[in-house]
Amino acid sequence: MDNYFTTIPLFRHLGDHGMGAAGTTRAKHPDFPSVLAINKDITKKRLEWNHLSGEVVNGVCAVLWQDNNTVLFLTTIHNL
């Protein structure tokens, strides 16, 4: 799913109706966990390659993964 539309409320709604969803997202969405939102202006450095962290918010798994760039995504297709 396109990151403009990938939000926790939308994915929660889809999950409640039995539809799995996954897609990249933006940290600026208000429901995205602040613990995963990295302010690059403050840190001035990237995370170590392949760093992975996540948090479940209202049944939606929010994930941060460091590839060549930081990748943020949401999914309702998880077993936690």
Give the integer Cα–Cα distance in Å for 5 and 35: 21
pLDDT per residue as tens digits for the range 18-69? 999 999 998 888 888 988 877 665 555 678 899 999 999 999 999 999 998 8
Strands 60-66, 70-75: pairing kind:
antiparallel
Residues near 18 by beta carbon (within 8 Å), at least 6 away in sequence: none
For residue 70 the two structure tokens come to 């930081």
Domain range list for the chain = 8-75
Look up the pTM and report it: 0.83
Q: Which residues pair with 70 in a beta bridge?
A: 66
Q: Give, as one character, the DSSP assignment of residue 69.
A: S
pLDDT per residue as tens digits for the range 8-20? 999 999 999 999 9
